[in-house]
Amino acid sequence: MPELPEVQTILDALAPLIWEQVIVDVSVLWPGVVDRPSVDEFVAAVRGRRVVQTSRRGKYMLFQLDDACWLIMHLRMTGNMRVVFREEPVQPHDRLVFHLENGRDWRFNDTRKFGRAYLVSDPDEVVGKLGPEPLDESFSAAYFIEKLAGRRAAIKTLLLDQRIVAGVGNIYADEALFRARVHPLRAAGSLQPREIAALVDAVKGVIAQALDEMGTTLRDYRRPDGSVGEFQNSLQVFRRTGRPCPRCGAMIERIVVGGRATHFCPVEQRLDA
Ligand SMILES: [Zn+2]
C-alpha cells in the first residue's frame, strides 16, 4: 500500500507531466472510483479545466484546478498513476482516464478498486481531519506525548491513525518502532516521554530516508516511469520474519496488531519495558 514516500514520489514525477494541461475529457472506466460528486457531475466539472497546482496531504494527492476546485485522489492499496501516449492500449485495471490536450492520457490504474477520486471546492472536506505531516515541526515530541496520554490502544495502532499523524502506514510504522526500540503492542499511554521522543525522531528519520530512496517496492508500487523504489533494500524488520535482526542478531518475529502484519525484534523491543 502506498504510504507518504510512495505517494510523494508518484506525485513528483506526475506533476510536470500534467501541469497547465487542459483536461479535454474524462473517461470513468469504473464508476465506483468517483467518491463525489456523481460521476456525471464529476466529468462535467473536470472537463475543460487545467491543473494549476499539486500538493500532498498524508496519503492524498491534491490537484487544484483553474476554477479553484480541487481534484483529490487516494491510491489506497494498489492504485497507481501513469501518463502515457493516447495510442497505448488501456490496461485491464485502468479505472479513470484524464485526456490531456497534448495527446497524452493521465491514467489511474487500481487492481483492488479501493482507490478514490473526489472533486470538492474545499479540500478540508476530504483532508481536514488529518493529523500533522510527520516531517512538519508540528509533529513534535510534545504533540505526540499529549496525543498518547492515557491511551490504552497499542502504539502501532495509533501510529497508523491518520488523525494523529498523516501518511504513516504499515511499513514505516514497523520500521520506526524498531528504530525507537518500542514494542508495537505497548499501550500508547505507557510510553515514557524519552521513548515518545525517540519514536518521533524515528518516524521522521524513516520517512525522510524513504523519500530519498523513492519509496518501497514490495509488489504493486511503481514510480510513474515503471521503475521501482529503493527503500525495500533498507528495510530492517518489515517482512523479514525469521531473519536476523540487523542490530542484535535475534530472529525477527511477526505478530498481528489491529489486523495488520507486524514485524519486530523480540530482544530489543520489549513488551515489559
Ligand atoms: Zn534486535
pLDDT at 21: 95
Where does residue 194 rank: exposed (0-12), middle (13-18), buried (19+ CB within 10 A)? exposed
- Catalytic residue at 3? yes
Common-topology check for domains 4-127 and 141-264? no
In the chain, what are the domain boundaries?
4-127, 141-264
Architecture of the domain whose range is 4-127 = Alpha-Beta Barrel (3.20)
pLDDT of 95 > 90? The answer is yes
Residue 3 backbone class (left: φ over 0; alpha: ψ -120 to 50; beta: rest): beta
pTM listed for this prediction: 0.94
Distance from the alpha carbon of residue 220 to the mean position of ligand 1, in angstroms: 29
Distance from the alpha carbon of residue 165 to the mean position of ligand 1, in angstroms: 26
The catalytically annotated residue of 59, 82, 156, 240 is 59
- Catalytic residue at 59? yes
Confidence grade of residue 273 (pLDDT, cut at 50, 70, 90): confident
Radius of gyration for the alpha carbons in the chain, expressed in angstroms and rounded:
20
pLDDT at 117: 98
CATH 3.40.50.720 fits 141-264, yes or no: no
